Amino acid sequence: MTAAVQLAQNDPQPVAEANGRSKVIARDVNVYYGDKHALRNVDLDIPENAVTALIGPSGCGKTTFLRCINRMNDTIPTARVTGRLEIDGRDVHDPEIDVVQLRARVGMVFQKPNPFPKSIFENVAYGPRIHGLARNKSDMEEIVIGSLRRAGLYEEVKDRLGESGTALSGGQQQRLCIARAIAVSPDVILMDEPCSALDPIATAKIEELMDELRTNFTIVIVTHSMQQAARVSQRTAFFHLGILVEQGVTGEIFTAPKDQRTQDYITGRFG
Amino acid sequence: MIWAYLVLLVVLIVVGYAFGRMRAVTVSRTETLHSRPSYYGAFVAIWILTPMVLVYAVGVPFANHVTETQALTVYDPALLDKELERGAALREIEAVSAGEFIGDPSPRLIAAVETYETYRAWGSNLVFLAGLALGLIGLAMTLRFVSAGFRARNHVERFIKRVLLACACVAVLTTIGIVFSVLFETIRFFNHVSPMDFLFGLHWSPQTAIRADQVGSSGAFGIVPLVVGTLLITFIAMVIAGPIGLFAAIYMAEYATPRFRSIAKPILEILAGIPTVVLGFFAALTVAPSLREAGFTLGLDVASESALAAGVVMGMMIIPFVSSLSDDVINAVPQSMRDGSLAMGATKSETVKKVILPAALPGIVSAFMLAISAAVGETMIVVMAAGLAANLTINPLEAVTTFTVQIKTILVGDQEFDSAKTLSAFALGFVLFFFTLMLNVIALEIVKRYREQYD
């Protein structure tokens, strides 16, 4: 964790504010699962080096949108995506774009911690190995240890890197998955309700980690907890029934929402 | 007798169930019942069923025994202790009784038959009456239990548990029984042949002289050629079925569209359903001759019955074992593993190779073990395609023989059951059983050890 704190201090950007540039731009994105129109005409800008929270009731399309960004919807045979979704100005659906390259640049952390049934070391080394990021053994060690450090896990596991990743506690497993995601140095990290299976202490650690990581990464998080969205994010987007209802600076969304539906949701009238 | 008893049983059970239920319904008008009325009906029915089945199970053998003893006492009391003559005499008595006796029965035989018939009639009547009486007693007694506070549901549950336990015990006891019967014959065999010669001998020709003055070999009972033959054929089968089955499973589980899967999987399972005797003549009539021809063009001498032909066809037989079980374990790997790997930018084949197969490995290994057990125990294909010659060779183009083929050869036809030759079949069976048991134990152990790796 100390390394990450140092990084944050050395960073010329003030931590509290995004630099304003949009990393991911969605224009008129529609998603269909078979006949079901899951996401309608979404226009959304996701700023670089900030945490953007996607909130909304279950089934509103926020996870669907998240999975568009690294094209994980490709793995669902019935899914169809239309519209433009740009990362750094390039459409992810451009035939020139290789999905393997895309996913190496856009990491993902899932709802349920899903470490591979391998050692802690091998879990983190997985991405660097497939993409050939380490030239030799000491390179790999450097990447793995660095990633574990930045995920705030290294101190807890440094003596047992050879043990199975599945033997860790839930919160540790999730941080291992974060370490695995950042080991390939992505630009964007997608988090799909990363704390929903964790206890409050583990949740607090992950939230702290997100705050540190956003100095280097663009983070998009789907969450059911409005408190979490308020705590960790700089921008918030509210989805309802497949429609992006409202987006804006987190503080404004939670204190002065413009749309009645947002108002109802954040005050707990539905969802 | 048995039909009348069965009808009586069914009638009493139906009546008992109806009475019990009616009584419960009546009680429920005034009080709150502990269980639903049908449980009271079932409770009464159970207490009719159990005593009546017990009466039949104990009564009929007892009645038969008394009848036979009495009839034989009249016929010739000296026969009572002699197993063989006793059986012969009883068959005569039964034949006369059934009117199928050829020739004129002696007066003593006729007297015995009369005794036999009298006792038999008495016996079946007594069993019938005892069953009826106990059934009625059960009905009367249990009907009195039907009251609001009586926990009929719990009694019925307990009964169901006992029935299930009994079924489980039958399965286990059958296995133990088979093992012991084979074991005893094996021990008898080892009185003729030393275990060392059996296990490490290099020659197998189980011909023994039947009469003392007969010219013939004393037989050689070394199983090494059979072990080598069995392993050779199993090895060939696994070389074919292992990769094909596993890769087919990976395609089915990871790549195939649901449509293709829904068509291909049942077809693959049909392959598992082809009787092995059909595969056997496919091996002997189609595969073996074409292998021979192919060998001829290449300048190789292929025997008309070869380990290769048997192994290839056996490989086809066990492809479904490997593919179906592997498919199941690959499907059991959680989707989150695939998502995690794909989201890291891994391709599909990298995901399969680096995440799914390692996670599914214990299951795949046990699928292979089961396939090997099936191959080792398979008989018909090797009988038809591998031959009988106990050659000690690892050349797949020659004829070899296996455990199962030898067991079948030894036991087919008329045999005396105390010669070393016949008994050797049991020893072979025991070794075979031990081998497959070991494979299964290893497979189970592997599965158990690595089961909790994911989740």
- Tell me, yes or no, whether B323 lies in a domain: yes
| Three-class secondary structure of residue A136 per DSSP | coil
- When pLDDT is cut at 50, 70 and 90, the band that residue A1 belongs to is very low
Question: In this structure, what are the phi and psi dihedrals at residue A49, rounded to the nearest 5 degrees?
Answer: 50, 45
- CA dihedral A191→A195→A196→A200, nearest 10 degrees, is -170
pLDDT digits (tens, 9 = 90+) for A57-114: 888 888 999 999 989 888 888 888 898 998 888 888 888 888 888 898 999 999 889 9
Tell me, yes or no, whether B37 lies in a domain: yes
Please list every residue in chain A whose beta carbon sits closer than 8 Å to the beta carbon of residue B350: 130
Q: Which residues of B touch A180 (CB under 8 A)?
A: 340, 344
Region A249-259: mean pLDDT is 89
* B271 and B127 within one domain: no
| Same domain (yes/no): B322, B415 | yes
Residue B162 lies in a domain: no
Q: Give the range of the structural domain holding residue B404, as residue numbers without chain letter.
A: 220-453
Residue in this structure with the two tokens 């049934």, named with its chain if needed: A117
Q: What is the count of structural domains for chain B? A: 2
Q: Do B324 and B407 lie in a common domain? A: yes
Are B86 and B232 within one domain?
Answer: no
pLDDT in tens, B220-278: 788 888 888 888 999 999 999 999 999 999 999 999 888 898 898 888 888 888 888 88
Do residue B345 and residue A75 have CB atoms under 8 angstroms apart? no
B107 in contact with A, Cβ within 8 Å: no
Query: Which among A100, A102, A117 has the least Cβ separation from residue B347?
Result: A100
- Asked if A130 and B346 come within 8 Å (Cβ–Cβ), the reply is yes
pLDDT in tens, B163-176: 999 999 999 999 89
Fold of domain A2-266: Rossmann fold (3.40.50)
Q: Is B454 on the interface with A (CB under 8 A)?
A: yes
Last residue of a domain, one of B118, B150, B182: B150
Residue of B nearest to A129 (CA): B346
Evaluate whether ipTM surpasses 0.90: no
Q: Is residue B320 part of a domain?
A: yes
A51: closest CA among A183, A221, A174, A197? A221
For residue A11, name the pLDDT band (cuts at 50, 70, 90).
Answer: very low
B145 and B226 housed in the same domain: no
Q: Cβ contact (<8 Å) for A116 and B346? A: no
Rounded to 5°, the CA angle B90-B93-B95 comes to 110
Q: Is the pLDDT of residue A16 over 60?
A: no
* Domain match, B30 and B126 both: yes
**Is the domain of B301 the same as that of B437?**
yes
Position B110 in a domain: yes
Domain boundary among B150, B177, B203: B150
Q: Per-residue pLDDT tens for A179-188?
A: 999 999 899 9
Per-residue model confidence (pLDDT) at position B164? 96
Query: In this predicted structure, what is the pLDDT of residue B212?
Result: 57
**A166:B453 CB<8 A:** yes
Strands A79-87 and A188-192: unpaired
- Considering the domain boundaries, does residue B196 fall inside one? no
Asked if the Cβ–Cβ distance from B359 to A77 is below 8 Å, we say: no
CATH number at residue B415: 1.10.3720.10
For residue B355, the chain A residue with the least C-alpha distance is A116
Please indicate, yes or no, if residue B205 is contained in any of the structural domains. no
What confidence tier does A14 reach under pLDDT thresholds 50, 70, 90?
A: very low
Do B225 and B143 belong to one domain?
A: no
Q: β-pairing, A218-222 with A188-192?
A: parallel
3-state secondary structure chain B: CHHHHHHHHHHHHHHHHHHHHHHHHHHHHHCCCCCCHHHHHHHHHHHHHHHHHHHHHHHHHHHHHHHHHHHHHHHCHHHHHCHHHHHHHHHHHHHHHHCCCCCCCCHHHHHHHHHHHHHHHHHHHHHHHHHHHHHHHHHHHHHHHCCCCCCHHHHHHHHHHHHHHHHHHHHHHHHHHHHHHHHHHHHHHHHHCCHHHHHHCCCEECCCCCCCCCCCCCCEECCHHHHHHHHHHHHHHHHHHHHHHHHHHHHHHHHCCHHHHHHHHHHHHHHHHCCHHHHHHHHHHHHHHHHHHHHHHCCCCCCCCCHHHHHHHHHHHHHHHHHHHHHHHHHHCCHHHHHHHHHCCCCHHHHHHHHHHHHHHHHHHHHHHHHHHHHHHCCHHHHHHCCCCCCCCCCCCCCCCCHHHHHHHHHCCCCCCCCHHHHHHHHHHHHHHHHHHHHHHHHHHHHHHHHHHCC
Compute the distance between CA of residue A237 and CA of residue A56 in angstroms, rounded to an integer.
8
Strands in A243-249's sheet, in edge-to-edge order, are A90-91, A79-87, A22-33, A36-47, A243-249, A235-240, A51-55, A218-222, A188-192, A106-109
Q: Which domain-ending residue is among B128, B150, B172?
A: B150
Q: Where are the domains of chain A?
A: 2-266
pLDDT of residue A6: 39
Q: What is the mean pLDDT of each run of 10 residues along chain B (455 residues)?
A: 88 92 89 87 92 92 89 79 78 82 79 87 90 90 85 91 95 92 88 83 73 61 86 92 93 90 86 86 86 85 81 90 90 90 91 90 87 86 80 80 85 73 85 87 78 54
